[in-house]
Amino acid sequence: MKSVLVTGAAGGIGTRLRALLKGVYPHIRWSDIKRPDDLAPDEEFVQADLADYAAVEKLVDGIEGVVHLGGYSIEGPWETILNANIIGCYNMFEAAYRKGVKRVVFATSNHAVGFYPRSQKIGVDVTVRPDSRYGISKAFGEAVGAFYADKHGLRVTCIRIGNFGDKPIDQRRLAIWLKPDDMVQLLRIGLEHPDIHFEIFYGASDNAAAWWDNSDARRFGYKPSGKAEDFRAEAMAAQAKLPADPVGDRFQGGAFCSAEYDADKRG
Ligand code: 15L
């Protein structure tokens, strides 16, 4: 893999990856709708709105592998999700296909399956149960990825990211934490492993409290180094300061599930 495009360069994950991927691939093009403030002179950056198909085609020109982090990364109004995550994601896969990109790694989210209860361990073969418009857009992206893999031969990896950061910040994150180095391992499997056709991996570290069976990722050689349990005391101390959330605390998606929730009022 010689030339890689990473979208979402100005976001939380993109910003960390800009440091972690330095020197890993000979040519990395970074993109976002807004320019990161701290771009180094040797970093190639192309500003683009993913909802603009012509701009996305230009972005992928000469690229072999795409890491698609771009879009809106939390719940938002339908118009915002529609443009950034539905149209933007479709444009990315369509442009990748048309311009001869070989692989796409798509950053999906745990919120595509957020309405599974915390009492249930799930694999990647379950029906999607989105907890938000954002989660719906991620489920859509996974479906688009499967389509371009099966119909057009793109090699596609969807990483259902839990919570990316230096440590798990509360009880829920003890189950879904993803250490940045482990994210790099997962996306490199997506960009480099010879047997990728269409895969979904959970973007989670080696968390003893996990709700997810990530054996598919491990079959491809994933060996996470982060262990959420190393931070249990800190995470539980932070949890003790949070208000109870009767709906959010039941489901894997947490507060994304309780926001706008009124299923119990329908009779
Ligand atoms: C996500 O998908 C979001 O992008 C991130 O901001 C967190 O909310 C994360 O999920 C989470 O579930 O903790």
Task: Give the residue ranges of DSSP H helices in 85-178.
Answer: 88-98, 133-152, 171-176
Counting from 1 in the atom list of ligand 1, the atom nearest the Cα of 254 is 12
Closest C-alpha residue for ligand 1 atom 8: 74
Give the model's pLDDT for residue 184.
Answer: 98
Confirm whether pTM is higher than 0.85. Answer: yes
Q: pLDDT tens digits, residue range 49-90?
A: 999 999 999 999 999 999 999 999 999 999 999 999 999 999
Q: pLDDT tens digits, residue range 149-166?
A: 999 999 999 999 999 999
Q: Which of 116, 118, 161 to mutate to test the pocket of ligand 1 (most atoms within 8 A of CB)?
A: 161
Which amino acid does the sequence have at 64?
E
Give the model's pLDDT for residue 115.
Answer: 98
Task: Give the residue ranges of DSSP H helices in 108-193.
Answer: 133-152, 171-176, 180-192
Q: pLDDT tens digits, residue range 99-150?
A: 999 999 999 999 999 999 999 999 999 999 999 999 999 999 999 999 999 9
Closest C-alpha residue for ligand 1 atom 11: 163
Q: pLDDT tens digits, residue range 8-63?
A: 999 999 999 999 999 999 999 999 999 999 999 999 999 999 999 999 999 999 99
Confidence of residue 266 (pLDDT cuts 50, 70, 90): confident
pLDDT above 90 for 247: yes
Q: Which of 111, 132, 167, 169 to mutate to test the pocket of ligand 1 (most atoms within 8 A of CB)?
A: 111
Instruction: Spell out which residues line ligand 1, taking CB within 6 angstroms.
Output: 73-74, 109-111, 161, 163
SS3 117: strand
Instruction: Go through 190-213 and write b for each residue having 16 or more CB atoms within 10 A of its CB, e for each that does not.
Output: bbeeeebebbbbbbbbbbebbbbe
d(CA 66, CA 25): 12
Give the model's pLDDT for residue 57.
Answer: 98
Counting from 1 in the atom list of ligand 1, the atom nearest the Cα of 111 is 2
Tokens 């099966």 correspond to what residue? Answer: 150
Closest C-alpha residue for ligand 1 atom 2: 109
Mean pLDDT, the chain, rounded, equals 98
Give the model's pLDDT for residue 111.
Answer: 99
Residues belonging to the active site? 134
SS3 266: coil
Tally Cβ neighbours within 10 Å of residue 89. 26
Cβ atoms 2, 25 nearer than 8 A: yes
Q: pLDDT tens digits, residue range 199-233?
A: 999 999 999 999 999 999 999 999 999 999 999 99
Tokens at residue 215, please? 């054996």
pLDDT above 80 for 267: no
CA dihedral 18, 19, 20, 23 (to 10 degrees): 90
Tokens at residue 38, please? 């701290």
Percent of the chain clearing pLDDT 90 (strictly above): 99
Count the domains in the chain: 1
Which regions of the chain does DSSP assign to beta strands (E)?
3-7, 27-32, 44-47, 65-68, 103-109, 155-161, 163-164, 177-178, 198-203
Its domain, for residue 105, covers 3-266
Q: Which of 74, 85, 158 to mutate to test the pocket of ligand 1 (most atoms within 8 A of CB)?
A: 74
CATH number at residue 81: 3.40.50.720
What is the distance in A from the centroid of ligand 1 to the CA of 162?
7
